[in-house]
């Protein structure tokens, strides 16, 4: 009986360690954003939204990107971006439930000559040629895709008003 109990304890211990080992090694480790970001990326989405004053009324400004071209390349050393990426953004104004086409914006060489710093898996700082800074909030990422957004105050040329504008950008590895 003693041998049977000893044998039972041995198999139980072996089973516990075997299961623990299986659980530890079968979980793939996600790479950090700092490791993933280096390389070429192409735009797949660029949407813009803002709330502004127009003719004395508050309006929603909405832009939807299309015609994505080129690649933005994040270099490792030095940490800078070279870019031929571009997009068109069709902008409309939403007023009283009606969407009114307003303008089409052209973006070329998006973030070309910017430097970058990965602050965490959720944030990247971009520093422009004139030392303007953009904090990109990373919503999600894999080794092949990154979804991010940033807020930028854009001055209205007509009113001088700063308009808080949100850009939502998605990219995929080239």
Architecture in CATH of 36-173: Beta Barrel (2.40)
Residue with tokens 């504008």: 165
Q: What are the extents of the domains in the chain?
A: 36-173
Please give the structure tokens belonging to residue 15.
């089973």
Please give the structure tokens belonging to residue 31.
């790479």
Using CA atoms, how far apart are residues 174 and 172, in angstroms rounded to an integer? 6
Q: Would you give per-residue pLDDT tens digits along the chain (174 residues)?
A: 444 343 343 444 444 444 444 455 566 788 999 999 999 999 999 999 998 877 778 889 999 999 999 999 999 999 999 999 999 999 999 987 899 998 999 999 989 999 999 999 999 999 999 999 999 999 999 999 999 999 998 887 777 788 889 999 999 999
Q: Is-contact 102 81, C-beta < 8 A?
A: no
Show the DSSP H helices in 26-124 as ranges: 33-36
Map residue 27 onto helix, strand or coil.
coil
What is the pTM assigned to this prediction? Answer: 0.79
């Amino acid at each position: 009986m003693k041998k049977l109990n000893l044998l039972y304890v041995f198999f139980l211990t072996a089973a516990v360690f075997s299961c623990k080992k299986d659980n530890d090694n079968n979980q793939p480790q996600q790479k950090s954003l700092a490791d993933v970001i280096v390389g070429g990326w192409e735009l797949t989405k660029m949407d813009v939204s803002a709330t502004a004053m127009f003719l004395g009324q508050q309006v929603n400004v909405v832009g939807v990107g299309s015609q994505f071209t080129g690649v933005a390349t994040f270099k490792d050393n030095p940490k800078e971006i070279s870019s031929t990426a571009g997009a068109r953004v069709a902008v409309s104004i939403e007023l009283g439930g009606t969407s009114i086409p307003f303008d089409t914006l052209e973006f070329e060489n998006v973030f070309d000559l910017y430097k970058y710093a990965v602050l965490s898996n959720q944030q990247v700082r971009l520093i422009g040629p004139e030392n303007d800074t953009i904090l990109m909030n990373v919503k999600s990422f894999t080794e092949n895709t990154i979804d991010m957004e940033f807020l930028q105050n854009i001055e209205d040329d007509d009113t001088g008003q700063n308009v808080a504008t949100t850009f939502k950008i998605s990219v995929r590895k080239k």
